[in-house]
Amino acid sequence: MKINKDHQIINSLRISSYSKYNFLIENNDDCHELYDFIRLKRLPYIVIGEGTNIVAPEYFNGIVIQISLNNINNDKHLNVGASVNWNELVEYTIKKNIYGFENLSLIPGSVGAAPVQNIGAYGVEISSLIKSVECFDLSNNSFITINGSDCNFKYRHSCFKDNPDLLILSVNFVNNLKKEFNLNYDSITSYINKNNIDLNNIEHYEVAQIINTIRSSKLPDPNNIPNVGSFFKNPIIDNSRLSEFNNFISWPVTDNSSKLSAGQLIGSIKHLLPSYENVDLYEHHSLVMITNSKASYNEVLDFKNSISKTIFNNYSIHLDVEPTIIT
């Protein structure tokens, strides 16, 4: 257990940010100490992984909880500590011939943060890979295991978003999926056709390489350009409105609803947005908000609000934010 006061909140938007307390969990006993600490201080608290999916305030008058559990055990299932870097896990599964993770290559963040918003990319969501999640319940000082089927996984959503008292310590993944690849996503199909790739002999490390190439061509590395990846979720509309969006990419969700490309919607109105000194849209993908490392919390939120308001005024569509906005 490590407790630091007035601790910097590392975040990939590089907003200058600090919290009153930072509590680092290094083993299960620390969870009970955290439970007591929260009740002693009577302050709000939030769990943060690598800070790649948050908008951090200049000062959080509360407790930032971070995990330092880096185990990877591959036995009956794949058990992975919450602080393991997600892409390092993907690379591990490729080396160990564990299938299913290859489409999720290069997604920033930690394993513990991944189930919270049910991360997904190129036709695959993490929910399809999760067997169960090991948690500590901050509401009653107890350890629990939640089966994947009980995590209420939806598009960029899970029970962990609904219940911030559930502190994820490790995730149990399936490790026995068949050698079957999900290559039906448009950009993957286009890349395969353009490069004359033989699908009869393709291996999952090659699939990961394809994903890495496509992703790197569209999305900036947060280590080089401050960003939190996709800032908005793709909106879901009733199919009765599809005719209004004939020129936009859409995907079926249910028999009565479809998902629209938020990036394409934002790209269509970006010329209407006010300019900001320290924040902008990424030139290769309008769904990604970037900063120059000097942006303030309020500047990021003002730009976010400008985008949301302009989209609603032009299309009568509400855009939901993907990253967690800490208040």
Strand partners, 254: none
Q: Distance between CA 133 and CA 204 in Å, rounded?
A: 25
Question: Looking at 19, 127, 230, 286, which residue is catalytic?
Answer: 230
**3-class SS at 90?**
helix
Cβ distance 44 to 57 under 8 Å? no
Quick one: which of 89, 99, 253 has its CA closest to 178?
Answer: 99
Cβ distance 262 to 232 under 8 Å? yes
| Burial class for 43, CB neighbours closer than 10 Å (0-12, 13-18, 19+) | middle
Question: Looking at 12, 134, 156, 286, which residue is catalytic?
Answer: 156
* 88 among known catalytic residues: no
Q: Kindly give, in sequence order, each residue whose CB lies less than 8 Å from that of residue 100, ignoring residues fewer than 6 positions away.
A: 93, 124, 128, 129, 174, 177
Q: Please, what is the Cα angle at 170 between 167 and 175, to 5 degrees?
A: 145
* 283 among known catalytic residues: no
Q: In sequence order, what E strands does the chain have? A: 2-8, 18-25, 45-47, 54-55, 59-67, 72-74, 78-81, 120-121, 124-125, 130-137, 142-147, 166-173, 227-230, 236-238, 250-252, 257-260, 279-282, 285-291, 324-325
Question: Looking at 50, 102, 134, 322, which residue is catalytic?
Answer: 322
* 322 among known catalytic residues: yes
Q: Distance between CA 61 and CA 40 in Å, rounded?
A: 15
Q: Distance between CA 46 and CA 9 in Å, rounded?
A: 11
Q: List the catalytic residues.
A: 156, 230, 322
